[in-house]
Amino acid sequence: MAVPLSYVARNLWTRRLTTALTAGGLALVVFVFATVLMLDAGLKQTLVSTGEYDNVVAIRKGSETEIQSGVTRLQAAVIETHPAVALGADGKPLVSKELIVLISLRKIGAQKPSNVIIRGTSATGFELRPQVKLAAGRLFAPGSAEIIAGGAIARGFEGTRIGEKLHFAGRDWQVVGSFDAGASGFDSEIWGDVETLLQAFRRTAFSSVAFRLASSERFDGLRADIDGDPRLTNEVKRERLFYSDQSRALSTFITVLGLTLTTVFSIGAMLGAMITMYAAVANRVTEIGTLRALGFRRAAVLGAFLAEAMLLGLGGGLAGLACASLMQFASFSTTNFQTFADLAFRFALTPAIVAKTIAFALAMGLVGGFLPAVRAARLEIVDALRAS
Amino acid sequence: MFVLKLVYKNAFRHRLRTLLTLAGLAIAVLAFGLLRTVVDAWYAGAAAASGTRLITRNAISLATFLPLHYESRMRGVEGVTRVVRSNWFGGIYQEPKNFFPQFAVSDNYFELYPEFIVPPAELGAWMRDRKGCIVGRSLAEQYGFKVGDVLPIRGTIYPGTWEFVVRGIFDGADSTKITRQMVFHWDYLNETLRKSAPRRADAVGLFIVGIDNIDNAAAVATGIDGLFSNSLAETLTETEQAFQLGFVAMSDQIVAAIRIVSYVVILIILAVMANTMAMSARERTAEYATLKALGYGPLFLALLIVGESLFICALGGALGVAATVPTALAFKKMVSIFPVFAVSRDTLWAQAACAGAVALAAAIVPATRAARVRIVEGLRAIG
């Protein structure tokens, strides 16, 4: 027969201060653990939702990112006419030849500038990315020095709201609109007309070519054709893979740093739980003897103390998770090491993270409570009852 | 003396509990120190910067180039002693995770960086070999590069696989200098580009400018930027330190997060320590009442508890501080993302201060409780 759970819970309640301190220590560790997972999940969501599965990006072979890449007009034209490229309603290929340039902009309240991506694109660029929607103002007019800013840029950077002007590449650029790209990487970009931007930056080559596949399964054939064409020094990737590859270094960095920290911290918190549980056992030797004399077996006593430790862990876990869930209202922005540009993303709380976090908290309680519970279970009835 | 003896005996009455607390303290203090060192490592580039060097780059951003002909005009600015070209190469050695910085620099690079020491014979050999490169000591040790080795590096910004011959290895003047990098001839890069992609040739990533007097920095910077204002490629000139701090600022939220987390670990250990002290004090309520009955004042009891807390924290803190330097060295060997990873004296002091603060904070509640305990009630209390 098992020891009733109410007995276990009341023991924690009697020693409120100790319980609160131990659970508080566990909660802090759980908070760090959950926040790191949420940050990584947010980053992945952002870069995965940046790409459409049936969109393809062509860049120069060997250049890992758009910013390092260059695609000449000739190459862009060859790619554009490939039969695997989908046609739009007007019969023209769904292709956007794009220019990507980094410019330095100052974050609101920051001393030093950060790099922001300017993407030269066209109306087709919007058609290819249905998640990008105009939120306010209007689109840039082709051939004009007008730009529109993504949501994260308009909120976080100086001079990027509608009606304001940015000065770069020798002229003023009027901000005429802002767009909402959901939680995608495009939200951290400024868009303008590609031909005007090419002129302004004195470039002759595009950075990348993005297009829609006529049908999903034609990707492999397209890749073989592009690899085999002697005029092309390009490689193609599915857009979704292309953007998630770009977050790999940052994602690994966040995960490794975060998990190393939580491992170290959890040792501290588990020691705390162990101290509490050892004290709980030492204070209740007579009680344990009584329980055994009443007929509860060693396994039941072991179970009761393990349950107490796990309850402690659960309390800490829930408190930590509650604090971490508040982080969903915050957003995080930092320079992506691979693209060298600022990227804003959110802390995303997924059901998987909730499950992992609670499991982690229970495990900390279990590990911390195991040795004390074994000590309790091994007490001899007679000795325990005699103890004062 | 009596107090000290009592404190010592009390501290080790529950040996297991004290040992567990000590272990927790040591780990937390160690983690705090390492986190501070990580933050310091972030600033390593700025800390190693010299006040007599300025960086001139395209005002648009670092990813946009400057024309080569700017160099001769910059040399004419009052106060400028040397101008060095530098292009970020951004190549991949074998696979992307083997990241290290490669710069294409003009031949006068080492004149401007006296803190990088190259044996004269090796410098001469590098000058004579157009495809030669010089690698830093810590980079050479990490990958086992020796003079005469050929390094194939796959370009990302500049297409193709480039081969460089190691002609020398440079050392840092002291341990704060970053020697995890490689430099090669700017001319090799430029001449290759002239053949393969002539439109991209004669473009310089940034100019490093040597100045004669540290006080002239602002005047020289304004002078250079004035030369090219309203041109197609306007420049932005700042001190090397400001330039490096710009990089740190780009990831300032990560740095801020690490800082916050380094205080979280102190809170965690505070919770553990406060718990230990609270439990010990509660179990001894009857003893404190007895001491009071014998005539000891409340201050004495408070002192007893604070002393015990300080004693345990001092021991745990000392263990943590002692372990910091060896752990940092081991960490540096294992993970090579930080070019400089050295524990500063300030960090050691901060660790000691944290241990002390935890000791005092953990003792406050139990000490006031013990000081206020009434003799009759205290004697009745059961542990």
The answer to whether the Cβ–Cβ distance between A268 and B24 falls below 8 Å is: yes
Interacting residues of A276 by C-beta distance below 8 A, sequence separation 6+: A18, A19, A22, A312, A368, B275, B279
The CA distance from B189 to B184, in Å, is: 9
Q: What are the structure tokens assigned to B272, written together?
A: 């553990």
Confirm or reject contact between B201 and chain A (CB < 8 A). Answer: no
Q: To which residue do tokens 């780009």 refer?
A: B250
- Span B363-379, mean pLDDT? 88
The answer to whether the Cβ–Cβ distance between B90 and A269 falls below 8 Å is: no
The answer to whether the Cβ–Cβ distance between B271 and A340 falls below 8 Å is: no
C-beta of residue A85 within 8 angstroms of C-beta of residue A94: yes
Instruction: Record the pTM.
Output: 0.86
- Span B329-348, mean pLDDT? 82
> Is the confidence at residue B383, as pLDDT, over 60?
no
pLDDT in tens, B54-96: 999 999 888 889 999 999 999 999 999 999 999 999 899 998 8
The answer to whether the Cβ–Cβ distance between B268 and A340 falls below 8 Å is: no
Q: Please give the pLDDT value at position B178.
A: 86
Instruction: Please report the residues numbered 141 through 160 in chain B whose beta carbons come closer than 8 angstroms to any beta carbon of chain A.
Output: 154-157, 159-160
Q: Please give the pLDDT value at position A112.
A: 79
C-beta of residue A321 within 8 angstroms of C-beta of residue A357: yes
pLDDT in single tens digits along all 388 residues of chain A? 788 889 889 988 888 888 999 999 999 999 999 999 999 999 988 888 888 889 999 999 888 889 889 999 999 999 999 999 999 989 999 999 999 999 989 888 887 788 999 999 999 999 999 999 999 999 999 999 999 999 999 998 999 999 999 998 888 999 999 999 988 899 999 999 999 999 999 888 999 999 999 999 999 999 999 999 999 999 999 999 999 888 888 888 888 888 888 898 999 899 999 999 998 898 889 999 999 999 999 999 999 999 999 999 999 999 999 999 999 998 888 888 888 888 888 899 999 999 999 999 999 999 999 999 999 999 999 888 887 6
Confirm or reject contact between B267 and chain A (CB < 8 A). Answer: yes
Identity of the residue in A65, A110, A278 whose CB atom sits nearest the CB atom of B249 = A110
Identity of the residue in B20, B236, B251 whose CB atom sits nearest the CB atom of A274 = B20
Q: Please give the pLDDT value at position B80.
A: 95
Identity of the residue in A170, A272, A332 whose CB atom sits nearest the CB atom of B275 = A272
The answer to whether the Cβ–Cβ distance between B159 and A233 falls below 8 Å is: yes
Percentage above 90 pLDDT, chain A: 64
The CA distance from A300 to A5, in Å, is: 11
The answer to whether the Cβ–Cβ distance between B63 and A18 falls below 8 Å is: no
Confirm or reject contact between B259 and chain A (CB < 8 A). Answer: no
Give the number of C-alpha atoms closer than 13 A to the C-alpha of residue A388, restricted to the C-beta side: 1
SS3 at position B67: strand
| Predicted-complex ipTM score | 0.83
The answer to whether the Cβ–Cβ distance between A275 and B276 falls below 8 Å is: yes
> Is the confidence at residue B337, as pLDDT, over 80?
no
Q: Please give the pLDDT value at position B183.
A: 96
pLDDT in tens, A93-117: 999 999 999 998 988 888 778 899 9
The CA distance from B334 to B330, in Å, is: 6
Q: Please give the pLDDT value at position A113.
A: 84
Q: Please give the pLDDT value at position B74.
A: 95
Interacting residues of B136 by C-beta distance below 8 A, sequence separation 6+: B116, B169, B170, B171, B172, B178, B179, B180, B181, B182
Q: Please give the pLDDT value at position A189.
A: 94
For residue B17, the chain A residue with the least C-alpha distance is A275
Question: DSSP per residue over B4-34, as a string?
Answer: HHHHHHHHTTSHHHHHHHHHHHHHHHHHHHH
Q: Please give the pLDDT value at position A302.
A: 93
Which of A12, A14, A28, A253 would best serve as a mutation to test chain B binding (most B beta carbons within 10 A)?
A: A28
> Is the confidence at residue B51, as pLDDT, over 60?
yes
The CA distance from B227 to A21, in Å, is: 64
Q: Please give the pLDDT value at position B372.
A: 87
Interacting residues of A366 by C-beta distance below 8 A, sequence separation 6+: A306, A309, A310, A313
For residue A344, the chain B residue with the least C-alpha distance is B253
> Is the confidence at residue B118, as pLDDT, over 60?
yes
The CA distance from B123 to B113, in Å, is: 13
Instruction: Please report the residues numbered 22 through 81 in chain B whose beta carbons come closer than 8 angstroms to any beta carbon of chain A.
Output: 23-24, 27-28, 31, 35, 59-64
Identity of the residue in A21, A334, A340 whose CB atom sits nearest the CB atom of B63 = A340
Q: Please give the pLDDT value at position A388.
A: 60
Q: Please give the pLDDT value at position B336.
A: 65
Q: What are the structure tokens assigned to B100, written together?
A: 């290290």
For residue A61, the chain B residue with the least C-alpha distance is B159
For residue A70, the chain B residue with the least C-alpha distance is B157
Element (H, E) at A272: helix A248-283
The answer to whether the Cβ–Cβ distance between B249 and A112 falls below 8 Å is: yes
Q: Please give the pLDDT value at position A261.
A: 86
The domains of chain B are located at: 2-44+252-380, 60-233
Give the pLDDT band of residue B139 (cuts 50, 70, 90): very high
Average pLDDT of chain B to the nearest whole number = 91
The CA distance from B205 to B189, in Å, is: 12
Q: Please give the pLDDT value at position B248.
A: 84
Identify the CA nearest to A235 among candidates A45, A9, A61, A12.
Answer: A61
Q: Please give the pLDDT value at position B63.
A: 86
Residue A278: what residue type? Y
Q: Between B210 and B176, whose confidence is greater?
A: B210
The answer to whether the Cβ–Cβ distance between A28 and B31 falls below 8 Å is: no
Q: What are the structure tokens assigned to A39, written together?
A: 């940050």
Residue A260 Cα distances to A252, A319, B34, B255, angstroms: 12, 22, 12, 16
The CA distance from B225 to B56, in Å, is: 8
C-beta of residue A375 within 8 angstroms of C-beta of residue A278: yes
Instruction: Please report the residues numbered 286 through 315 in chain B whose beta carbons come closer than 8 angstroms to any beta carbon of chain A.
Output: none
Q: Please give the pLDDT value at position B379.
A: 84
Give the pLDDT band of residue B206 (cuts 50, 70, 90): very high
The answer to whether the Cβ–Cβ distance between B24 and A333 falls below 8 Å is: no
Give the Cβ contact number of residue A6 at 10 Å: 8
Chain B hits for A112, Cβ within 8 Å: 245-246, 249-250
pLDDT in tens, B252-291: 888 999 999 899 999 999 999 999 998 888 888 888 999 9
- Measured between CA atoms, how close is B271 to chain A, in angstroms? 5
For residue B267, the chain A residue with the least C-alpha distance is A25
Confirm or reject contact between B86 and chain A (CB < 8 A). Answer: no
Q: Between B306 and B2, whose confidence is greater?
A: B306
The domains of chain A are located at: 5-48+248-386, 62-232
